[in-house]
Amino acid sequence: MGGKELRRIVFSEQEISRRVRDMGREIAAAYPPQDELLVLGLLKGSFIFIADLVRQIPRPLHVDFLVVSSYGAGTVSSGEVRLVYDAKAELAGRHVLLVEDIIDSGTTINRLVPVLEERGPKSLEVCALLHKRVAPYLVKEPRWVGFEAPKEFLIGYGLDYSEHYRNLPYIASL
């Protein structure tokens, strides 16, 4: 599948489940219960993480999505971010949680955060399942991070290599 061999499992299905549960509780506690929360997911890589995460946030919320492209068929970011699909939800006056699968080069976050801030949210926070800590500069550090990620190309749990491996229940390296 995908023409690449798995090197190792980096985060098991059980580790991911525990961490996502804890993140959901932390996120729920961070917002006033009377305020609406909009979870804004970055597709495609974060779709499994978002589905699991929102089920662990014990409060009313809305979910919408953005689709951006920066990789194509390679294993290194092209450095160019294209907004392919924009969220339909109104951001003005709402608490917005931008959910990303992985922060590596920082290009996607650096491109999107200013665009979203221009829309006047009450607050804007970033939640990332994985953070490689290799970006030389981020316009906004994530408030919630699932795991510190190794500097390897990771797949599984929504992350892909040329559209393969997204369905793995764990995160592995190629």
| Distant-in-sequence, close-in-space partners of 34: CB < 8 Å, separation ≥ 6 | none
Residue with tokens 């500097």: 151
Which of 52, 101, 104, 160 is catalytic? The answer is 104
- Whether the CB-CB separation of 49 and 157 falls below 8 Å is answered with yes
Residues 100, 68: Cα–Cα separation, whole Å:
11
Cα–Cα distances (Å) from 78 to 18, 19, 43, 144, in that order, read 33, 30, 17, 26
Residue 104 a catalytic site member: yes
Active site members = 104
